[in-house]
Amino acid sequence: MSDASKIDDGGAVIVLVRADDPEKKPLLYACGKCGQIQSPRIYACKDDVAHETARRAAEDCYNCRTHNNCQHCGKECEKHWLACDDCRRKKRFEDSKEVPLSSIDDECFGFDSGNFYHSPEDAADDGEDWVYASTFHRFSIDGERLEESILDDHHEDASTADFVGWDALWDAIEAFNKAQTQGSYDEDRARRARVSHLRDRNADALIAASKTGGPEHG
Ligand SMILES: [Zn+2]
Ligand SMILES: [Zn+2]
């Protein structure tokens, strides 16, 4: 263990050196506020550059930071993010392609909330301007995965040819898979459809209904 002593560098950074080193050669750098240590050893570069980088990391202590700055626009953002909400939204927007609402299933995901909706109207009512399309995947048994899991713990040469009743099981799996109607929806972040006009339409309908003395039933 190295016996380190602290030298105030004049700034916020604490430079740690060996107490018995007459030259007081810097070994580690620490934040003057919280003491978080930065080691030059973690940087795979020339010694002087590594020391400079570690010193700067101690100066600009991540531990003491209350926020990050967005790497795109410089605005303050939450610490564990590199970009602000607006820039991240913009990126998601650019990364997805606008498709006609008629081309997607009713089931969709709010572009901003990520919430699941049974219809684009529901998403619009909830304040979403856009939705992500969904992809549906049914419940199914993956026969090949099943095969692997059966063979996994056995000798190398074991094969499905050794199974008794494998063909019958395979047929049953196929029948099972074909019979499934339920499953789940996944967000498809490549396709985005506009729904904001549905909200306006809903609002218009409400206004029209209120003018005629109440919503129509039947
Ligand atoms: Zn700190
Ligand atoms: Zn930003």
Q: Each residue of 63-89: pLDDT tens digit?
A: 999 999 999 999 999 988 999 999 999
> How many angstroms is it from 45 CA to the middle of ligand 2?
31
Q: What is the structure's pLDDT at 6?
A: 47
> How many angstroms is it from 217 CA to the middle of ligand 2?
47
Q: Which residues surround ligand 1, an ion (CB under 5 A)?
A: 31, 33-34, 36, 61, 63-64
> How many angstroms is it from 89 CA to the middle of ligand 2?
9
Confidence of residue 18 (pLDDT cuts 50, 70, 90): very high
> What average pLDDT does the segment 5-10 reach?
45
Domain positions in the chain are 4-59, 66-95, 96-138+182-212, 143-179
The ligand that comes nearest to the alpha carbon of residue 64 is: 1
SS (H, E, C) the chain: CCCEEEEECCCCEEEEEECCCCCCCEEEEEECCCCCEECHHHCCCCHHHHHHHHHHHHHCCCCCCCCEECCCCCCEECCCCCCCHHHHHHHHHHHCEECCHHHCCCCEEECCCCCEECCHHHHHHCCCCEEEEEEEEECCCCHHHHHHHHHCCCCCCCCHHHCCCHHHHHHHHHHHHHHCCCEEEEEEEEEEEECHHHHHHHHHHHHHHHHCCCCCCC
> What average pLDDT does the segment 139-157 reach?
94
> How many angstroms is it from 88 CA to the middle of ligand 2?
7
